[in-house]
A and B are shown apart, each in its own frame.
Chain A
Amino acid sequence: MPQEPTERRVVVTGPPRRTRRASGYSRPRTEIDEQTTLGHTYVRSLMRTQLRAALTVFAVLVLLVGPLPLVFAATPDSRRLEWLVLGFCLYAPLVLLALWYVRRAERNERDFVRLVEDR
């Protein structure tokens, strides 16, 4: 046995790799579950990203709709344009904004789950 040092069995101490990975796997989640300060920080970060997404889309909505009454008031001859825009042209952009927001919000949530579950 001593002649073949390469074949010697060596006992390695320390926590096994599998267990360490498992603890890393659930750590942020445990923080959230146990409502520690760190867990709250995770939740707050999710809230911030979601609020940012909502405010971005809201800002686009305000920029899209906000100036319209001013435009119509400034150009009293544009009755036909007013009919066209208010009657038929605003609904499609509203739906598109909604789709954009939902995609962003769901992506934020997926990213958050991935972060928390450490995948």
Chain B
Amino acid sequence: MNSSYAVPAVALVVVATVLVGAFGLRISRTTSDFYVASRTVGPRLNAAAISGEYLSAASFLGIAGLVLVQGPDMLWYPVGYTAGYLVLLLFVAAPLRRSGAYTLPDFAEARLASHGVRRLAGAFVVGVGWLYLLPQLQGAGLTLTVLTGAPDSLGGLIVAVVVVATVAAGGMRSITFVQAFQYWLKLTALLVPALFLILAWQSDGAPRHAFEEPAAFREQRVVRVDDTLDLKLDRPLTVTVNGTVDGRRHRAERLQLPTGTHHIGAGTRLTFAKGATVPVADRGTNGGMSTSLAASREERPLYATYGLILATFLGTMGLPHVVVRFYTSPHGVAARRTTVAVLGLIGAFYLLPPVYGALGRLYTPELTITGDADAAVLLLPDRMIGGVGGDLLGALVAGGAFAAFLSTASGLTMAVAGVLTQDVLPSRGVRHFRLGTVLAMVVPLVASVLVGGLPVADAVGLAFAVSASSFCPLLVLGIWWTRLTPPGAAAGMLVGGGSAFVAVAATMAGFPGTGPLHALLAWPALWSVPLGFLTMVLVSLATPGRVPTGTAAILARFHLPEELRAEVKA
């Protein structure tokens, strides 16, 4: 891909981010401005900011890549990300805003009057935040590598530096402007190329076999395999090989590969004939955001689909960077209306990735083999339109992708830094907030360099599953159930979130390779969320003496409309 336009586009996005952030800095004066933008952000600006923050690398690049590799089942991801906001609106939005707390740990402390639960919630916020930051940094690395061939960690480093600079300088107020700006940037960066791509598709005779299974090559295509991989063939495949297959060297030989798994050496060139079925690389051999837990999906697709639905529907409300934005609404009613606007904005955005996924199946099917499926969005303009137009559109997409990394990473950094500043570092001044920002970013940056090839979708899925089984019970029961006790909340978070964390960590480490147990561990939400709820309820019922004394008054504050509450305080 031609990088002469893409690099300036990425640079432009970075510079624009810093400039908009600096604009926020000029009007960001007090500590309250820093953390919650003084709670004066109206629904429209706030909704654009929330959406901009929420649409991460996984949305911008990952969904199209997942759909390209694994077919339409993966469209449950964007549906779940959106429906998660609806569930958040139903059970959490207004009471959470009325609770008047700054962060999730603040909420836990206000509701349960327990410092221990606050600490625990803080630990989970930092953990989930770091887990979610990791894929952003890796995605940035991947994008820059695809565009320029730069080393993997450079993109992550750029994102880290820019985010720390904007967050540390301007805090929440400047982040609000930055993210609202980036939502519209991301939407444009996907929408405009999508329109051109659809036109190109139409002039190509509007082929429709994208929706058929499995994907096939539309024309003769040479695929270069950069890293050694295993190809799984469901049916015999005829291919011209220049390189190593199954340990034997071939020089431009036409081979008939039988059904089964074949080992392709690094540097091999495979030439596929027109109409050949696209083989699928085995799990674990093709890194990147789209790898996911593909193998377990084949074993128990229904269980996996429901696990995914539950995790995304219930996990959204507990994502630290999502929750912290609700405190910036002026009141509970505004928080609700903001959420509706967010639903509209992200729903509109999510109409686009499936288009890229479908076109990717038509025009770049070889990405499923080389493992760069996440790059489909970046490569399609060049592949389908070509010339200067294709380069310009590709540059627009690349800029949008960088906006995605920057905005989500800044929101997460903001949330993690807030917790670190309030609960770990000694004083609560703005200077310590800046130190917290650096800390919040350094850990995932180091981790992204160390773990390198960790499949990104797994990290995102893990963050959602942990959040759904720890914060979702805490928020829902905390807001609607009078008999919740501090020991119950702590036990529920530890058992639910802890078991989800252990399950997915075990899967990532490769324990137990196959079978039903593997599916249970790879998609923990289906059992860990009920487990979290159940533990919280049972332990709370077992410790009735520990119900905080002010519970009734606090619940009244959560639920009473503001016009009545003003009197309560007076």
State whether B76 touches A86 (Cβ < 8 A).
yes
State whether B76 touches A98 (Cβ < 8 A).
no
Known: A43-B556, A98-B340, A105-B94. A69 touches B309 (CB 8 A): yes
Cβ–Cβ < 8 Å partners of A47 in chain B: 480, 555, 559
Asked if B207 is an interface residue, CB under 8 A from chain A, the answer is no
Of the candidate stretches B216-224, B255-263, B348-356, B515-523, the one touching chain A is: B348-356
Cα–Cα distance between A39 and B135 once the two chains are bound (Å): 49
Known: A61-B83, A92-B347, A101-B89. A73 touches B302 (CB 8 A): yes
* A71-102 interface bits toward B, Cβ cutoff 8 Å, 1 = contact, 0 = none: 01100000110110011101110110111011
Asked if B79 is an interface residue, CB under 8 A from chain A, the answer is yes
Residue ID in chain B nearest A54 by CB atoms: B90
- B194 CB to nearest A CB, Å: 13
Asked if B1 is an interface residue, CB under 8 A from chain A, the answer is no
Asked if A112 is an interface residue, CB under 8 A from chain B, the answer is yes
Cβ–Cβ < 8 Å partners of B340 in chain A: 95, 98-99, 102
Cα–Cα distance between A95 and B47 once the two chains are bound (Å): 14
- A15 CB to nearest B CB, Å: 24
- B277 CB to nearest A CB, Å: 15
Residue ID in chain A nearest B480 by CB atoms: A51
Cβ–Cβ < 8 Å partners of B337 in chain A: 102
- B59 CB to nearest A CB, Å: 13
Taking a contact as CB atoms closer than 8 A, the residue among A51, A70, A91 that contacts B350 in the complex is A91
Number of residues from B at the complex interface, CB < 8 A: 49
State whether A87 touches B72 (Cβ < 8 A).
yes
Known: A33-B567, A35-B553, A65-B83. A98 touches B559 (CB 8 A): no
Q: Is the interface of A mostly helix, strand, loop or mixed?
A: helix
Cα–Cα distance between A92 and B351 once the two chains are bound (Å): 11
Q: Which residues 23-53 in A have Cβ within 8 Å of B in the complex? A: 29, 32-33, 35, 39-40, 43, 46-47, 50-51
- B449 CB to nearest A CB, Å: 36
Cβ–Cβ < 8 Å partners of A51 in chain B: 480
Q: Which residues 191-213 in B have Cβ within 8 Å of A in the complex? A: 211-213
Number of residues from A at the complex interface, CB < 8 A: 43
State whether A40 touches B552 (Cβ < 8 A).
yes
- B26 CB to nearest A CB, Å: 35
- A118 CB to nearest B CB, Å: 13
State whether A65 touches B301 (Cβ < 8 A).
no
Cβ–Cβ < 8 Å partners of B336 in chain A: 102, 105-106
Taking a contact as CB atoms closer than 8 A, the residue among B85, B301, B343, B559 that contacts A46 in the complex is B559
State whether B211 touches A79 (Cβ < 8 A).
yes
Q: Which residues 293-314 in B have Cβ within 8 Å of A in the complex? A: 301-302, 305-306, 309
- A111 CB to nearest B CB, Å: 10
Residue ID in chain A nearest B342 by CB atoms: A98
Residue ID in chain A nearest B357 by CB atoms: A87
Cα–Cα distance between A113 and B564 once the two chains are bound (Å): 7
Asked if B91 is an interface residue, CB under 8 A from chain A, the answer is yes
Cβ–Cβ < 8 Å partners of B110 in chain A: none
Please give the residue numbers on chain A whose beta carbons come within 8 Å of chain B beta carbons, in ascending order: 29, 32-33, 35, 39-40, 43, 46-47, 50-51, 54, 57-58, 61, 65, 69-70, 72-73, 79-80, 82-83, 86-88, 90-92, 94-95, 97-99, 101-102, 105-106, 109, 112-113, 116
Question: Which 10 A-B pairs rank lowest in CB-CB distance, beginning with the nearest?
Answer: A91-B347, A87-B354, A86-B75, A54-B90, A69-B305, A109-B561, A43-B556, A82-B72, A98-B340, A80-B211
Q: A47-B559, A79-B213 are in contact. List 16 more A-B contacts (CB 8 A).
A: A33-B568, A58-B90, A61-B86, A65-B79, A72-B73, A79-B212, A83-B354, A87-B75, A88-B354, A90-B83, A91-B348, A94-B343, A98-B86, A98-B339, A102-B89, A109-B561
